[in-house]
Amino acid sequence: MPAQHPVVIGVDSSTQSTKAAVVDTTTGALLAVGRAPHTVSGTGGARESDPGQWWTALVEAVGRALKEAAVPASAVTGIAVAGQQHGLVVVDATGRPLRPALLWNDTRSAPQAADLTAELGGPGPWLARTGSLPVASMTAAKWRWLRENEPATADATAAVRLPHDFLTERLTGMGVTDPGDASGTCWYSTADHAYDPDLLALLGLDPALLPAVAPTGAARVGTLTPAAAEALGLPGTVAVAAGTGDNMAAAVGLGLGGAGLLDHPVVSLGTSGTVFAATRTRPAAPGLAGFAAADGTYLPLGCTLNCTLAVDRFADLLGLHREDTAPGGDGVVVLPYLDGERTPDLPHATGLLTGIRHTTTPNAILAAAYEGAVFTVLRALDELLTACGANPADPAVRDRPLRLIGGGARGRAWARTVRRLSGRPVVVPAATELVALGAAALAAGAASGDDPVALATAWDAGAGDLLPPLARDRETWDRIASVLDAAAPALPASAAGAAEGARTWVL
């Protein structure tokens, strides 16, 4: 690559690893990706990580990417971080974490989420202010959990950060976030585009502990500190963008802007399953997270806790490879809610297996696990479309392709199950690192002042093969729906009742 071509670095700091992408800003070419793993600890509902390892992984991943890309450090003009959403990072006055971060999939705060909902007068006031409800995933519920269970740590907290905020502060020395990731806290108002003082008072959270909110994720918030520049081997002049949450960055990477593009809904199959669409409509529905987008508009999203890892666990238990499925579940229903569930809001759920017979094969059970995970994601998609004013049953809506992304998008069984249960065509983008590419577009925007969504659109990262629809398997859809609707009311309402969950779920 000619030395005069500027490059940027987009960082995807996810639950399990950090990936750093070196991208040519002129062509959008992905020159290299460096990777470094994270560890997650915790049993039961606990899921925690040491934030310090995220920084170590970022430094390692950037170093590996630059070495593989073989570009001079002087060619790097910008960097941005996209991070896993909702995690609670509490630090002291020196920026040192006081405890491991509570991650998005830590469900211990479910009782606190329910209390917060009630204290504000029910779901309506929360949706009106934040566009979302304080389920266990949201940062507000985690802060309440910390205050109730570790009050000394809460009292010692000098700053509260989200995972991507923590890393951006290590890069720049500045406490800053963006509207997209801030909207996942449940203390940021998507109606007023600012922190909500009444919600902060309800949470007992001093606004001085929070980062400033940049106007967009592409806003230039500074340059590298001398310490960060030395650690990364980069010039101190490198522009640092505000960055955003991982889902918002994926939307940027796909070139999705807030133009009401419900004809391009996205289904992401990873550790979690997510569905989202870019829109100028501010939806407020109980089953959705009414997030802001990185460009200042909206990114309504439905999220499930149990997706690829849960199905892989079934494959392990059955002694099968993940692709060793039968064509369908053969009447078996599996709801793979191994870590509780967020959508539907069943934080103390356990897995369900029903409908087996003497003739049932392990391959059919694995197929049913895929069906249960995909059903949950697609039902969230129907809720999203409805909230944004579209009828999911309208043929004009159903004929529009789904964008299928995430690690599961490359799996034949995943793609086949999505097509069969949705009856919709599917586009699998050729680009595999959409979160990192989105972060790179934000970095390029910070360095040049250009619109990051327009840049990503020109890079054409969302292009890919179009898979035609399969006949919709309505029988399987209705069977799973009836099992879930019958089982959900019997689930334990509290952690104390969760031990009864395994018996409750046997139908």
Catalytic residues: 246
Q: What is the DSSP string of 379-393?
A: HHHHHHHHHTT--TT
Distance CA 453, CA 254 (A): 8
Q: For residue 236, give every residue at least 6 positions away whose Cβ sits within 8 Å of its Cβ, in sequence order, or none.
A: 223, 224, 225, 226, 229
Length of the chain: 507
Strand-pair partners of 302 = 275
Distance (Å, rounded) from C-alpha 396 to C-alpha 390? 10
Kindly state the helix (H) or strand (E) to which residue 396 belongs, with its residue range.
Answer: helix 395-398
Identify which of 131, 3, 126 has the alpha carbon closest to the alpha carbon of residue 74.
3
Coil, helix or strand at residue 53: helix
Phi, psi of 108 (to 5 degrees): -65, -20
Q: Which of 339, 366, 340 is nearest to 353 (CA)?
A: 366
Question: Residue 63's closest CA among 231, 241, 237?
Answer: 231
Q: Report yes or no: 385 and 391 within 8 Å, Cβ to Cβ.
A: yes
Query: How many Cα atoms sit within 13 Å of 137 on the Cβ side?
Result: 24
Tokens of 176: 């800053």
Q: Which residues of 216-246 are buried (b: 16+ CB within 10 A; e: fewer)?
A: bbbbbbbbbbeebbebbebeeebbbbbbbbb
Neighbours of 132 (CB within 10 A): 27
Residue 152 has phi, psi (to 5 degrees) of -65, -40
